[in-house]
Structure 1
């Protein structure tokens, strides 16, 4: 039985399209591939980012060896991309089994972090930084 699930995750300027391919056979499974590279290599072997993307699986004790995760991600930096991937994976797991939803919600994995960089306003150097005030 072949079963595919697709979801999108976003964080800052990063957008991740996550696909989980479910397979019966145990050959060549349990991998997370991001933009054609292994997750560890793409996330520069940083344990913080690697643990972020595996967190939804660990919370619900999901056996990742039964499926492959393929991710296409663009925009933002590595930190935002890791959070976007985490959200996409959590959404897919809810799609696979709705019983996971309360547990994932309890750990705030289904909440989209809407904080983005504030735009620059005219007359200012950055979003809020003003030129130095001169009295005379």
Structure 2
């Protein structure tokens, strides 16, 4: 049985979902067909999405294509990192311990709190009580 051309992982954060394909190569990473540097500008975002690859010392030899939808930009970045870590485990299962210690395999389960009926339109805000 031959090795697959890519290894796929899924990551989630709030309502954002990222499908990540990791493969050998030196091409720049793309997100929804756009270069990652223009999709997530800034040095802090770059450190964040390169973190899984740098932890396993594969920053120069692996690249990824990502399809991400839903959520805001920070949630999409978190979903990308989570999906990239999951794809790296499928690429090489020995990476699991390094990624697990760094906390990249744990899905951040925090979600927006749902609204309750009978309140002032927010999740926890109470209606103002008439005093007189």
TM-score of the superposed pair, with normalisation by structure 2: 0.89
Work out the CA distance in 1 between the residues paired with 2:27 and 2:47.
Answer: 15
Residues 1-136 of structure 1: pairs in structure 2 closer than 5 A:
3-23=5-25, 29-43=26-40, 45-62=41-58, 64-124=59-119, 125-136=121-132
Number of residue pairs matched by the alignment: 129
Work out the CA distance in 2 between the residues paired with 1:120 and 1:35.
Answer: 32
Unaligned 5+ residue runs, structure 1?
A: 24-28
Q: Give RMSD over aligned pairs.
A: 1.6
Instruction: Flag the 1:108–1:96 CA change in 2: closer, same or farther, 3 A.
Output: same
Residues 73-82 or 2-11, more deviating: 2-11
Work out the CA distance in 2 between the residues paired with 1:134 and 1:49.
Answer: 48
Work out the CA distance in 2 between the residues paired with 1:59 and 1:39.
Answer: 19
CA drift at 1:131: 1.8
Residues 81-90 or 52-61, more deviating: 52-61
CA drift at 1:135: 3.5
TM-score of the superposed pair, with normalisation by structure 1: 0.87
CA deviation map 1:97-122 (0-9, x unaligned): 11111111001100000101011111
Unaligned 5+ residue runs, structure 2?
A: none
CA drift at 1:2: 6.4
